[in-house]
Amino acid sequence: MGILGSAICSIRWLLNAIVRVSWKPRSAREQKTASSKDIGLLIGAVGFLLSVLFGCNPKMTELSPDDIDEIADSVSQGIGQDVYVDGLPTAPPEVFDPFARGLKSMAQHEWEEAINAFRNSTREAAVSQFVALCNLIGMCYFTTGKLDSATQSFEEALQSARLSEDTLGEAATLVSIGLVHRIRGDLARAEECYQIALKEFKEIGDRSSEASALTNLGVVYGTRGDLKRAEEHLQAALLIRREMGNKYRESIALGNLGLVYQSRGDLAMAEEYHLASLEILKEIRNEEGVANQLGNLGLLYQKRGEMDTAEACHQAALSIHREIGNREGEANQLGNLGLVCQTRGDLVAAQEYHRAALMLDREIGDANNEAKSLCNLALVLQTGGDLDKAEECYTAALEMFRKIGDRNSEARTLSALGYVQARRGNTQDGLEFLQQALLIFKEIGAVRDAQFVEKMIGEIQSGSTPPEE
């Protein structure tokens, strides 16, 4: 049976193509994640630390900068994002005290209390401290999915940093702004922010932040399907991480490289990287990181056809993400479970998972994953014979991928539309879509995908037509 004569083959290929991965971009000093269980322990530990340090010292300013860096580092893991605090550990009491309360509120996920405390701190803050406080406020908004408010705070920080020639503050803020752009699907603007930040971090000599910017750029290139540049940037980041001896950050670089090898089809190498990352994350008890790697391993096992193992990985990851309130991670795993159900032929359950993921994506404002959810939903509809609605979903996703600049997903969606048109007997339209997809795959160096599409084109041209389901 020809390629187009096998709906199952086409479905399997697309299942391996439109997936929900856990790329982990990092901000200025590396965004870090933690588990819900660890968060409970973290809150207790931070609370105890603060009560001991603050309770025994009426003047909070007696805390050393290292003390605050340690607390901030713990908070970063608790919320899954980096917190930039430059200038605040040595601030006077009228600035430091509300800042410290806000940091504790962040650890406890009390976002409004944290925002109010940080705003109180800005009243007497110097310019560099004001930049850091605006970043903290923005990160509170970002963590809760309020991207417009987050952007407003980050832009305020950026303006202040530039006016005061605070290069470190500017670079850190650009990374935060780039993260918002990436979530919204504007990869061009995200790349621009990260490139400027990378240059500034290099000039300053901040190696850790340089690695963070390299990782962010690697994620952008990976999302676009530019796997060569993604690997180059991620390998450079991994080298720095290993030189600095930070195990957590090393695990992030390993996991992202695993995704690059998955995209290339080198599943053996991808599994090595994901398992190495997972081992580190378990060792340091970072369960949100564990959840991300479980999800990525689940995708790998799906590609191998090991569906029971894949489902177990995705269910475990979903449970962790729900416990800690990570809505993006929850949406990812819902989509991945939908893919498992699709492969098994349970279209009702698959559609439920994909619609749930799509709803979360829209609430968060995650354009890239919204487009992927649309593609996954389209495939379910296509498999069920509803070609009109499938085409509608694919077309909407195609427009989004083009706007985002995700050329790899754009090409895959064009291929799916070509398949749908061929199913309908619209040979010429189908060939046009497939030719567009083939051109993109060749441009971005996706050799295996290009070969698959060439084979599909050959089948159509030889007169093969897909059967009615």
Distances (CA, A) of 297 to 48, 59, 219, 312, 322: 36, 49, 18, 10, 19
CA distance 44 to 50: 10
> What are the structure tokens assigned to 233, written together?
């940037």
pTM higher than the cut 0.85: no
CA distance 408 to 257: 17
The pLDDT, as a whole number, for residue 458 is: 92
Per-residue pLDDT tens digits for 9-61: 443 444 344 556 666 554 433 333 334 434 343 334 434 333 333 333 333 44
Q: Among 81-95, 227-241, 339-353, which is the least confidently predicted range?
A: 81-95
Share of the chain above pLDDT 90, in %: 59
The pLDDT, as a whole number, for residue 80 is: 55
Residue bearing tokens 């049976």: 1
Average predicted confidence (pLDDT) for the chain: 83
Per-residue pLDDT tens digits for 327-375: 889 999 999 999 999 999 999 999 999 999 999 999 988 888 899 999 9
Distances (CA, A) of 82 to 79, 325, 361: 8, 17, 22
State whether residue 385 is helix, strand or coil. coil
Q: What is the mean pLDDT of residues 402-410?
A: 83
> What are the structure tokens assigned to 468, written together?
């009615």
Residue bearing tokens 């391996």: 16
pLDDT confidence tier of residue 74, bands split at 50, 70 and 90: low
pLDDT of residue 147 exceeding 60? yes
pLDDT of residue 447 exceeding 80? no
Chain centroid offset of residue 99 CA? 28
CA distance 12 to 392: 21
Alpha helices in 284-326 (DSSP H): 287-304, 307-324
pLDDT confidence tier of residue 106, bands split at 50, 70 and 90: confident
**Residues ≥6 apart with Cβ < 8 Å to 299:** 19, 20, 21, 262, 310, 336
Residue 41, number of CB atoms within 10 A of its CB: 14
Distances (CA, A) of 324 to 35, 78, 280, 361: 7, 9, 20, 17
- To 10 degrees, the CA torsion angle through 144, 147, 150, 155? 170
pLDDT of residue 164 exceeding 80? yes
Class of domain 7-33+80-87+126-461: mainly alpha
Per-residue pLDDT tens digits for 49-65: 333 333 333 334 455 66
Contact 131/160 with Cβ under 8 angstroms?
yes
Q: Among 56-60, 83-87, 448-452, which is the least confidently predicted range?
A: 56-60
Domain ranges of the chain: 7-33+80-87+126-461
Q: What is the mean pLDDT of residues 72-78?
A: 67
Ramachandran bin of 225, using left for φ above 0, alpha for ψ from -120 to 50, beta for the remaining angles: left
> What are the structure tokens assigned to 101, written together?
């309360």
The pLDDT, as a whole number, for residue 406 is: 79
